Structure 1
Amino acid sequence: MMRKVFLLLALLTLVVSCSLDDDGRNVSYEFVPITDYELPDSLVLGQKYQFPIRYVSPTDCNAFYGFEYDRRDSTRFVFVVNQVFENENCTTTTDTLEATLNFEVLYNYTYVFKFFKGFDANDEPTYITEEVPVKQP
């Protein structure tokens, strides 16, 4: 599953790097660790939600690009994807930024959210796990 996510990210990088409108800027994409999030105690079937997701942008050359979202049964893997503008004078930052994840409850089971926390010493992804039950409307 993670290989699919990394393959998708690599393909996205390849497509963007092959642009005919080359302005001299090299852009790559990377996952950045999620530091905090807000989820309700329960979800309602059929409802739409907006979850605030906080993450740290490592440099001022990083910019929010979007969310990578992978689903496996009732588990949802959530990643924040940043664009990284390379070959520029970047300054390290510790700014915590916030983005909104739109989510619609389509299934009547407990959702297991796994928010990307970073990589461990073996370069394996680690997650913050949160379970949220679903109620009938």
Structure 2
Amino acid sequence: MKKVFLLIGLLGLVVSCSLDDNNTNVNYEFVPVVDYELPDTLVYGQRYQFPVSYVSPSSCNQFYGFDYDIEDSTRFVYVVNKVFENETCTETPTDTVETLLNFEVVYKYDYIFKFFNGVDENDEATYLTDTIPVKR
């Protein structure tokens, strides 16, 4: 009886899986933040959702999430897009996308937020920067 269930399970697995992925490749890239909203102060122990806006470069871009780097009290924030290669895309550099950044205040010092804003002529990252004090 166990062999019958094992055989049925394996057959179901083989039938439900497809090896044809239509040759779709996915890459991930940082996209520049164009706007964000932060409060004037943060409260220790509170959770927040900050609206963050970026311009979607094409219809092949899709919001994937956020990436962070932490250096002392500085939070470097990057919007990450999933980019579908080998697709028919339309350029949409004017479509602004807004998403929410979840943030929890876990330290009692002031936070410095640096939102990735692109690269300059020397291929150096540029940032939109704000310092937000924390109420203790």
- Where does residue 99 of structure 2 map in the other structure? 99
- Distance in 1 of aligned mates of 2:41 and 2:19: 47
- Distance in 1 of aligned mates of 2:69 and 2:101: 13
Displacement of 1:132 in angstroms is 0.2
- Distance in 1 of aligned mates of 2:19 and 2:109: 46
Q: Which amino acid aligns with 1:105?
A: V
- Residue range with higher mean Cα deviation, 87-96 or 58-67: 87-96
Displacement of 1:125 in angstroms is 0.7
- Where does residue 69 of structure 1 map in the other structure? 68
- Where does residue 109 of structure 2 map in the other structure? 109
Q: Name the % identity.
A: 68
- Where does residue 31 of structure 2 map in the other structure? 32
- Where does residue 128 of structure 1 map in the other structure? 128
Moved runs in structure 1, 4+ residues, more than 6 A?
Answer: none
Q: Which amino acid aligns with 1:101?
A: L
- Where does residue 52 of structure 2 map in the other structure? 53
User: The residue matched to 2:35 in structure 1 has which SS?
Assistant: strand
Normalised to the residue count of structure 1, the TM-score between the two structures is: 0.82
- Distance in 2 of aligned mates of 1:133 and 1:26: 43
- Distance in 2 of aligned mates of 1:119 and 1:57: 16
Gaps of 5+ in 1: 1-19
Normalised to the residue count of structure 2, the TM-score between the two structures is: 0.83
Gaps of 5+ in 2: 1-17
Deviations 1:75-98 (A, max 9, x none): 000000000001111111020001
